[in-house]
Each structure stands twice: as structure tokens, then as C-alpha cells.
Structure 1
Amino acid sequence: MARRPLLNLGHLLRTVRDAGGVWNVIKRLSRDGPAEIRAGQLVGTDDYGNKYYENKNYIWSRHRWIDFAKWKDFDASQVPPEWHGWLHSMTDDPPTKVPPVKRKFRQDHVENVSGTSRQYVPYSTTRQKIQSWEP
């Protein structure tokens, strides 16, 4: 019974070391919460600065994850398609080992900007039916 707390402490220290130190653990706790402190091998980085990790000791659906480059405003549309396939285990090889085939008809990946200040807002060419009152 006395060895169990020591094993948990050793696991905690190993996780803090693998996560990049105490400062990175504090940063992840403030952004993601306590359930998201994970340690794994860095597999690659995409063009947007997102980092992709893998740890095969975790359960199958949770063994690959992403550390977004943006601090607060991140969502799933910031993951390029080739990394999306790897994250969801559609392929075993990450895009760093097997680069995707370049096709003429494919466009570059662009994140979804709906609901942000960079979204497209069309302007009206018709006159308003109700005029706002100005004193």
C-alpha cells in the first residue's frame, strides 16, 4: 500500500516532464482543464503551427491529439484535411511520413471564419424600408 502514492507521484512527475515543464502544464490547465494534461511523442507540425502528438499507451480513440497554436480561439476547422485523417485513425502514417498527393483541382485549406470579425458580410444595394430616427 505504501508504494501506490509513490507510483502516482512518479507518474505525475513524468507527465510534467513530458508535457514540457511546469509552465506548460499551468498553461494547459488554464486553457483545456485538468483532463487534458497528456504526454506523448511529437509527430509533426502543420503550416499553421498546430502540433500533433501520439501516445500508444492511451486507449485507442484518445491516443492521438492536437495542441492548437492559437491560445483561445481555436476550433476544428483549423485542422488541415491530411492531419484530420491521421487524427481520426483513417490512416496510420502521418502526413510528415507520407505527404498527400498534390492535385490540380484542390485548393489550400482555409479555416472557417463564420462568427468572427473576418467573416464576409454583404452590403445591401436597396433602400431601407424603415429609416432610423436621429434627433
Structure 2
Amino acid sequence: MKQLLLQIFTWWSGQTVGTRFFTWRHGKRVGEDEFGNVYYEGPLSSYGLPRRWVVYKGYAEASAIPPGWHGWMHHRTNTPPTQDNYKPREWEKPHHANLTGSAQAYRPQGSLAATGERPRVTGDYDAWTPGN
């Protein structure tokens, strides 16, 4: 019952009932990435290009789409990575979703979020205070 209510009322925790019905009726499964996201292609859009969409595994986050699938989703290539034997270049790092706002987010040295306190200012800089 909980899953049914989530599908009816939320879009961020997987596909909704409308997306599930549209996918069942018009979608042709094209492939799946290493994260479990499933990619579909359907009828022509108003631009004359085939409509393409992804059903995310878990939370819907656009940065979770790997580079090869991103190019296919945005019509930069007509061949999906599953048919193209897409392999990242040797200089490319492994894909990670955007972690901003999470506990794993990047926090540079000196950031208040990294250590909880700001390091003391050194050198010839004096912090401005009102009344000086």
C-alpha cells in the first residue's frame, strides 16, 4: 500500500503511475546503466526527435546519469551506450552523482562545514571591525 501511495503522490522516489502507464504503452526499453537506471525511447516529440526518458532506481537525481547515457538522452548520439560498446577514456574518472547537500559533499580546507571553526588569519591582514 505504501508503494502505491508513493507512486501516486511523489515523483522523486521512482516513477509515478502516469509515467508507468506511459512507459508501458509507448516505451521501448533501450538499456540499463551500472547504477540500475533504466532508459526508454518512445514516439516522436513535437521537435521531431524520439522522446527519451529514464526511470531512476531510487531517488530521482539527474546527476546520477553517467556520461555515455547523458549524451544519448540529449540526442548527441543516436546509438545508446549498450549498442555502441561505450567505454570511458583512460583519463576519465569514474562517474559519481552530485553529492552537494549530503554528508559526502566536498568541503575544502578552511570551510566552516569541514572542521566547525575557521582558521586564524595570518600575515598582514587585519579583520575589519565596526568603529575602527
Greater share of strand residues, 1 or 2? Answer: 2
* Cα distance between partner residues in 2 of 1:62 and 1:30: 28
* Cα distance between partner residues in 1 of 2:82 and 2:4: 26
TM-score of the two chains, using structure 1 as the length reference: 0.62
* Cα distance between partner residues in 2 of 1:88 and 1:79: 11
1:29 aligns with: 8
Q: Does 1:94 align with 2:87?
A: no
Unaligned runs of 5+ in 2: 108-113, 121-132
1:43 aligns with: 30
- Supply the RMSD in Å over aligned alpha carbons: 3.0
**Structure 1 segments of 4 or more deviating over 4 A?**
24-27, 57-62
Greater share of helix residues, 1 or 2? Answer: 1
* Cα distance between partner residues in 1 of 2:6 and 2:38: 15
Say which structure, 1 or 2, has more relative contact order (CA 8 Å, 6+ apart): 2
Deviation, 1:99, is 2.1
Name the % identity: 29
What is the total number of aligned residue pairs between the two structures?
104
Q: Does 1:68 align with 2:56?
A: yes
Q: Does 1:116 align with 2:102?
A: yes
1:10 aligns with: none
1:15 aligns with: none
Deviation, 1:56, is 2.6
2:125 aligns with: none
